[in-house]
Structure 1
Amino acid sequence: MAIAAEYDLELEQMDAVNAFVNSPIDEVVFIRMPPGFTRPGRVLLLRKALYGLRRSPLLWQQHLTGSLEALGFEKVPQEPCVMRKAGVLVFFYVDDFIWAYRKEDKEIAKEAMAGLQQRYRMSLLGEPRWFLGIHILRDRARKTIWLTQDAYIEKITHKLIGDPSLLSQRFPDTPMQDEELVPAPIAWQASQKEVHQFQQKVGSILFAAISTRPDIAFAVSRLGRQNQNPDSTHQMAADRVLLYLFATKSYGIRLGGGEKEAEIFVCSSDSSFADNSLDRKSSQGYVMTLFGGPIAWRASKQATVATSSTEAEFLAISEAAKEAIFLSRLLQSLQIQIPSPLKLECDNTQTIRLLEGGSKLSTRLRHVDIHQHWLRQEIEEGRIRLHWVPTAQMKADGLTKALPLQKLQSFQRLIGIVDLKDRLWQEARLETLRDWIAKRDLPLPSCSHARGPV
């Protein structure tokens, strides 16, 4: 989406109907007769994959990939669900497709879509407005796309909130309090129902966190550690995140439309030293921006105990650098020219001095020393360039700690989280108008010069 926004690409959406049943099955599978067709001693031998079989998604992916290759498309090595032909890109997730292409490549795209329609039963859905529960808003005049999950957040909040009366009270300003979530007392054992309820909340929140809401990534990382035995404080913490999401359901991420001098691809990495009181492991996080908008982020706990803040930064930068190298290769496969060396932002001057200077960190931890030598190698060979930024401008700061309101708002501005309330209201009015016109069989008004989402 960031690429489509920046280069003003055409976008079209398709959906495969009963996708799995198009795939020949490569093993012997017998099933019972369906109700109403029972014949004693008789079973059915499957010739095609069915929904519910473990291998069906893989068989469909292989069959679809073969069809696209027959139409002249090539696999993108780093991502099996993205293929390209000339200037046409197609992304598919199970049976949902998005095509992106320049206007001059329209014939290639249309020919490919027609080729798939000859092979499968496909629905043409036009310009994407919803994809995998994500609401897509676009302003082509400003070369900007916004992604939000307003409807999804409202749905999960009403479904999962522990106390419905909380929806009529004052909502929290932040997703998480400063206090650390600690495991339940040893004597406490949550019931199966309580565990299931908590895991539902965490899983639902996690989907929002990895899709459009990096501002709750740290909170859901902390919640996920209590999945096996949550107590009442953990349930209340999950409810707090849900209520925060509900209060900010119109928030989303902005892709494209940034300042002209914004750098193409930047990785920001941060850590919080020994902030987990039980095991004294450090928290770490990174965020990748493309054309000024966030495209990848992660908040996690380090797998090992660091004995200094510099060691914690080494481990965080190492993970961020590996992800940045992978993403840069993916973008280059999509014909996006990424400047070399990759820019990696860090707010620890000591770490930068040790990695770029002649001196080295003296550590007794062998694995930390390995990360140090690998990072020095990547810097010396010109693949990575470290750049110091003050903590106030560190984009990954909110992925390593619970922030107070003022710092949270600053973090949101830095990484491109914006309030889309006005645009959502405009689109709702436009959708109502479309429905009214459709019922009366009138021509739709042209929206080519609209300043709002089109």
Structure 2
Amino acid sequence: MELEPHPVAPENRGGSHRSSNDPIAVESGGSSLLTSGGSTTNELQMYHLARDRPRCTNVKPPNSQEKKEWMGAMIEEMEFLHKNHTWELVQLPEGKKATECKWVYKKKPIYMEQQDRFTQPGREYGLKQSPRQWYKRFDSYMLQIGYKRCDLVKPRFEMKDLGAATKILGMEIHRDRGSRKLWLSQRGYVEKVLDRFGMSKAKLVSTPLANHFKLSLEQCPKTDREIEDMAKVSYASAVDCLMYAMVCTRPDLAHAVSQVCKYMSKSGKYHWEAVKWIFRYLKGTVGHGVVFGSQQNDPLVVGYMDSDFAGDLDDRRSTTGYVFTLGGGPICWNSTVQSVVALSTTEAEYMAVAEAAKEALWLNGLVKELGVEQGRVQLHCDSQSATYLAKNQVYHARTKHIDVRYHKIIQLIASGEIILLKFHTSENTADMLTKPLTAKKFNHCLDLLNVYSC
């Protein structure tokens, strides 16, 4: 237990022994909770306060091995009180009685009720305005220094350097200073999820979703018995756990998770089998994560996109998939069903390019805020017809029905904000975000995207 002695006011026994001319400490942050003479608190409250307070005298720290620790804690406490201007020394006004102060040496937790009219449900103590006021103070100072590195904040605010981060929000951070590489993985989180759903000893598979999984609404439970059986399955919780891994460090799960997410409200046995298949894939790739390296000669942000024409069995909509890399590693990825039905593969690819372009604009603005001027963002598409269509509407008669918002890509290319390049489908890393692949092709996409075991 951390030893933190605090100066508190003792019981008022026989009056104060302080001279009226001695300087006293007046709290700057408001009235003290422990008061003596002149208080308006009723006698019952005073009795309750005196009874619950620790009965100890103002003595020296215990003469034991802990003496140095106690003394160090006392000095540290006083330094912070003076540094934060907790009180100011003033002359005791005539007719006022000062509350004495002493050290209390206790090694036990202290529980305190919230102040009347300032209570917060689920909170031990605090004012609603406190976080806001602290944020305003911190924000104003950050503005004054021009959003510089956090080292410049140390002279104003107390900070402790904990060294290089090793874990954040369940993501484990690994570094190789020699090769200038950084890994992000979720090994611990994945192991806990597998253990929670009883899949820690499951048989391994090589892909997150096999080709034989053709999920649709037809597989939803229809009889009362099927509905009752699926009510016992934690389908939504399992998908939520998979989704967190996917959005943080596992782009290889994007397409599989997007498929099982469609049936959260009415999942069937076959859908649950697909979820367990994803768990089996996770079991064999527990240590997989994204890797970032130093690539000074490459474009800063690079995008890859793809589509799967009419892949949704329920309404025949196509799937859009895109991924953006920075430093050789993925920083943004998405696999989603298109909002409208595409009438051709060209149209599906064209709409996928438009969606990826919108994300590219946002990422370009982000790196600008970080002080890096990239200029144009490269987008890679494996469809020759969609590339031609985006650069000039040569197929106007066949594409005039496409929603106007998708034609924004033409303006972005004309203005030079986006560069759309055609490249071979075998090198398209976004291919794994739109459809199930063979193990060989899937692993090739992972290699291109720098996703492997840490």
Q: Same fold (TM over 0.5)?
A: yes
Paired position in structure 2 for 1:150: 187
Aligned-pair Cα RMSD in Å: 3.0
Conserved? CA contact 2:230–2:268, under 8 Å = no
Paired position in structure 2 for 1:21: none
1:48: Cα distance to partner?
7.0
CA deviation map 1:40-60 (0-9, x unaligned): xx99422679659xx98x994
Partner amino acid, structure 2, of 1:45: R
Distance 2:202 2:407 in 1: 53
Conserved? CA contact 2:323–2:332, under 8 Å = yes
1:215: Cα distance to partner?
0.4
Distance 1:65 1:243 in 2: 45
Distance 2:130 2:257 in 1: 33
1:293: Cα distance to partner?
1.3
Paired position in structure 1 for 2:222: 187
Counterparts of 1:212-291 in structure 2, within 5 Å, are 212-258=249-295, 261-291=297-327
Q: How many residue pairs align between the two structures?
A: 338
Paired position in structure 2 for 1:407: 441
Q: Which runs of 5+ in 1 are unaligned?
A: 1-35, 75-82, 89-108, 421-454
Q: Give the direction of change, closer, same or farther, for the CA distance of 1:374–1:240 in structure 2 (3 Å limit).
A: same
Partner amino acid, structure 1, of 2:324: M
Give SS of 2:142's match. Answer: coil
Give SS of 1:305's match. Answer: coil
Partner amino acid, structure 2, of 1:171: L
Among 387, 400, 411, the alignment partner of 1:377 is: 411
Matched, 1:46 2:128: no
Matched, 1:343 2:367: no
Partner amino acid, structure 1, of 2:250: R
Conserved? CA contact 1:264–1:292, under 8 Å = no
Among 178, 184, 198, the alignment partner of 1:141 is: 178
Partner amino acid, structure 2, of 1:265: V
Paired position in structure 1 for 2:425: 391
Paired position in structure 2 for 1:303: 339
Paired position in structure 1 for 2:22: none
CA deviation map 1:98-128 (0-9, x unaligned): xxxxxxxxxxx334146443xxxx7653210
Q: Give the direction of change, closer, same or farther, for the CA distance of 1:115–1:193 in structure 2 (3 Å limit).
A: farther
Q: Give the direction of change, closer, same or farther, for the CA distance of 1:235–1:376 in structure 2 (3 Å limit).
A: same
Q: Give the direction of change, closer, same or farther, for the CA distance of 1:279–1:193 in structure 2 (3 Å limit).
A: closer
Paired position in structure 2 for 1:112: 153
Q: Which runs of 5+ in 2 are unaligned?
A: 1-47, 50-113
Give SS of 1:325's match. Answer: helix
1:361: Cα distance to partner?
3.7
Conserved? CA contact 2:316–2:341, under 8 Å = yes
Among 235, 245, 248, the alignment partner of 1:198 is: 235
Paired position in structure 2 for 1:106: none
- After TM superposition, the structure 1 stretch with the greater mean CA deviation from structure 2, 408-417 or 227-236, is 227-236
Conserved? CA contact 2:202–2:280, under 8 Å = no
Conserved? CA contact 1:355–1:372, under 8 Å = no
Distance 2:338 2:133 in 1: 39
1:65: Cα distance to partner?
4.4
Distance 1:251 1:231 in 2: 29
Counterparts of 1:421-432 in structure 2, within 5 Å, are none
Partner amino acid, structure 2, of 1:112: V
Conserved? CA contact 1:150–1:250, under 8 Å = yes
Larger Rg belongs to: 2
Conserved? CA contact 1:271–1:285, under 8 Å = yes
Give SS of 1:362's match. Answer: helix
Q: Give the direction of change, closer, same or farther, for the CA distance of 1:194–1:69 in structure 2 (3 Å limit).
A: same
TM-score, structure 1 length as denominator?
A: 0.68
Distance 1:116 1:362 in 2: 64
Higher relative contact order (CA 8 A, sep 6+): 1
1:365: Cα distance to partner?
6.5
Q: Give the direction of change, closer, same or farther, for the CA distance of 1:239–1:67 in structure 2 (3 Å limit).
A: farther
TM-score, structure 2 length as denominator?
A: 0.68
Partner amino acid, structure 2, of 1:70: S
Matched, 1:319 2:391: no
CA deviation map 1:327-347 (0-9, x unaligned): 110110011221x32111100
Q: Give identity over the alignment, percent.
A: 27
Partner amino acid, structure 2, of 1:172: V
Q: Give the direction of change, closer, same or farther, for the CA distance of 1:197–1:186 in structure 2 (3 Å limit).
A: closer
Distance 2:363 2:353 in 1: 15
Q: Give the direction of change, closer, same or farther, for the CA distance of 1:223–1:114 in structure 2 (3 Å limit).
A: farther
Give SS of 2:234's match. Answer: helix
Distance 1:355 1:364 in 2: 11
